[in-house]
Structure 1
Amino acid sequence: MSKKPSTPSTPGKSSTPSTPSTPGKSSKSGRPSKSGKKNVAIGAGVAVAALLLGAASYSATKPDEPSSVTAKEEPAADVSADPQAGVYPELAKLARRDAKDPLAQGRANAPVVLIEYADFKCGYCGKFARDTEPGLVKKYVDEGTLRIEWRNFPIFGADSESAARGAWAAGRQGRFWQFHEAAYAQGSKEKGFGGERLKELAKEAGVKDVGRFSDDAGSAGAKAAVKKDQEEAYGLGATSTPSFLVNGRPISGAQPDEVFDQAIEQAAGSAGKGGKK
């Protein structure tokens, strides 16, 4: 999992890691900018999420590309047999359920919403996107149990920010998930996310009007949308990517498939829909 830089430093630069990461996390620790300190006013669940998303350690498979920091083995995320254990209703309220949201997939009224806070420069986010998410879509999104809502949470400087704005711009033409797939393809992030590279990804994603895409990516609207997502994550106390909420249950890191399966199944059961067995 990837942690945010320690200061709101010069774009393109990030701080030296000050704490070791855990499997499923590529770590850069520290504080958000002033705008990022605005907490989401949703009660005690914020403190819990700050602990689980920012400090707890979990085991997960190491991504293909090496991390810049050391990983250590810790117990896997605990999804209790009690379906309500570790679930915070106030966190579930962060689900936007906007049927017109191009950065979401699945029915707006699906019984389970998985919110993902991620960065296109994060290796573990890429691992989740390639290895786990397609299975969740096939098993749960396609049959109506699950909705996935993306939140841009760029934490690695200028490239992360430009990729996030590019993804938002692709969404303006209905191609966010295709852009998401192209940006997370094996080896993609190593090519960077500069202006020309973003255009290449847009074309690969099937964006029809690349000129409009570039204008949208550089717009105040893109900046505001990304900032809104960032502040939501910072308000939860999230310090690393990927971080997730499943109907108010925090999950940290690119966990094994069964962790997400169990969390989704339990959430679906609690919502009155059994889900797939």
Structure 2
Amino acid sequence: MPVSRTRKPQKKSGRTPQRGGGRPSGGGRAPTRSADRRRPWAVVIAVLLVCALGAGVLAALGSAGGGGGGGGGDDASQEEFGDPALADVAHRDPDDPLAVGDVDAPVVLVEFLDFQCAYCGIHARETHPWLVDEYVDTGKVRIEFRNFPIYGPESDTAARAAWAAGRQDRFWEFYSAAMDEEFDMDSGRFSDEGVLALAEEAGVPDLDAFRRDLDSTAAGEAVGRDAEEALSAGVTQVPAFLANGAFVGSAQDQDAFRDVLDEAYEAATD
């Protein structure tokens, strides 16, 4: 059971989060040399994202006002539920440590997230526990997480750390620890030292193995596969959610999730 349901009470800072995690308020630590070594992959994601955005603009200009991918949109309540091609984004791997819920659940909700995104944090603290209570624990929905680190080196380190925690079956504990409170982007929270502290808080048993996995080629490849999958699905911002091939229109609105998930469940069980 994800520890996000037994998290500490959210600290109210009174700040209004900005899209994409906000800007640093100053005093943030510079990335470590290890983070600098990972920078090329973060740059690749940024370049690919720009290309995806450009392709999206061209598609929009060439269409008669068709719905956009990644941002969700209302899409006229999905006249034909979901996109069969996007439904393939769900893996249904029974050994996936970055997933929660019955592997045979009628609906798979795929979540694309950057740990530095403020709205991703709101989702993790407020909506994710509700989704687990309402849909995962009742066997209706399985949630599969995908890393999509688009905000630079600390985002990349956080994604690698989440994967490394999952190697020791502590992904959801890391997810909860990492998102448990508001923070400024590029603050050092996801430096090498920061993610090690979060891994310890999450109860990762072998921190030496965690360090090795964090810097491994396998970690970079896993994060890269997630990012490529996001871009192929048309995701251009975070958080983004796909339920059986249909985008959820809002990351903060429980009604938006309910509308899409209930429709997906009905379509899958008819």
Task: Provide the TM-score with structure 1 as the length reference.
Answer: 0.72
Which residue matches 2:213? 216
Question: Which of the residues 232, 235, 258 maps onto 1:261?
Answer: 258
Instruction: Give the direction of change, closer, same or farther, for the CA distance of 1:78–1:186 in structure 2 (3 Å limit).
Output: farther
The alpha-carbon deviation at position 236 of structure 1 amounts to: 2.0
Check the 8 A contact 1:165/1:217 in 2, yes or no.
Answer: yes
CA distance in 1, matches of 2:171, 2:188: 19
Amino acid corresponding to residue 11 of structure 1 in structure 2: R
CA distance in 2, matches of 1:178, 1:79: 37
Instruction: Name which of structure 1's ranges 251-260 and 169-178 shifts more when overlaid on structure 2.
Output: 251-260
Which residue matches 1:11? 39
CA distance in 1, matches of 2:198, 2:76: 37
The alpha-carbon deviation at position 191 of structure 1 amounts to: 4.5
Matched residues, percent identical? 42
Gapped regions of structure 1 (runs ≥ 5): 4-9, 16-29, 40-46, 59-76
Question: Which of the residues 104, 117, 136 maps onto 2:99?
Answer: 104
The alpha-carbon deviation at position 50 of structure 1 amounts to: 8.4
2:48 is equivalent to residue 32 of structure 1: yes
Total equivalences in the alignment:
223
Which residue matches 2:176? 181
The alpha-carbon deviation at position 195 of structure 1 amounts to: 1.1
RMSD of aligned residue pairs (Cα, Å) = 3.2
Instruction: Give the direction of change, closer, same or farther, for the CA distance of 1:215–1:168 in structure 2 (3 Å limit).
Output: same
CA distance in 2, matches of 1:170, 1:162: 12
| 1:87-134 deviation line (CA, Å, top 9, x unaligned) | 111111110000000000001110000001110000001111111110
Partner SS state of residue 181, structure 2: coil
Q: How does 1:185-204 map to 2 (within 5 A)?
A: 185-188=180-183, 190-204=187-201
| 1:11-44 deviation line (CA, Å, top 9, x unaligned) | 39x99xxxxxxxxxxxxxx74179989x9xxxxx
Which residue matches 1:91? 86
CA distance in 2, matches of 1:265, 1:79: 16
Which residue matches 2:141? 146
The alpha-carbon deviation at position 155 of structure 1 amounts to: 0.3
Check the 8 A contact 1:116/1:245 in 2, yes or no.
Answer: yes
CA distance in 2, matches of 1:133, 1:33: 26
CA distance in 1, matches of 2:208, 2:52: 31
CA distance in 1, matches of 2:51, 2:224: 8
| 1:220-242 deviation line (CA, Å, top 9, x unaligned) | 11000000000011112221100
Check the 8 A contact 2:154/2:188 in 1, yes or no.
Answer: no
Q: How does 1:41-190 map to 2 (within 5 A)?
A: 51-54=68-71, 77=74, 80=77, 84-85=79-80, 87-188=82-183, 190=187
Check the 8 A contact 1:241/1:253 in 2, yes or no.
Answer: no
CA distance in 2, matches of 1:35, 1:223: 21
The alpha-carbon deviation at position 251 of structure 1 amounts to: 2.3
| 1:30-81 deviation line (CA, Å, top 9, x unaligned) | 74179989x9xxxxxxx99982315x6x6xxxxxxxxxxxxxxxxxx4672x
Partner SS state of residue 128, structure 2: helix
Which residue matches 1:272? 269
Task: Provide the TM-score with structure 2 as the length reference.
Answer: 0.74
Check the 8 A contact 1:118/1:242 in 2, yes or no.
Answer: yes
The alpha-carbon deviation at position 252 of structure 1 amounts to: 4.6
Amino acid corresponding to residue 68 of structure 2 in structure 1: L
CA distance in 1, matches of 2:268, 2:81: 15
Gapped regions of structure 2 (runs ≥ 5): 1-18, 22-37, 56-62
The alpha-carbon deviation at position 261 of structure 1 amounts to: 1.1
Check the 8 A contact 1:52/1:252 in 2, yes or no.
Answer: no
CA distance in 2, matches of 1:243, 1:139: 19
CA distance in 2, matches of 1:215, 1:50: 43
Check the 8 A contact 2:118/2:182 in 1, yes or no.
Answer: no
Check the 8 A contact 1:50/1:238 in 2, yes or no.
Answer: no
Which residue matches 1:2? 20
Check the 8 A contact 2:111/2:239 in 1, yes or no.
Answer: yes
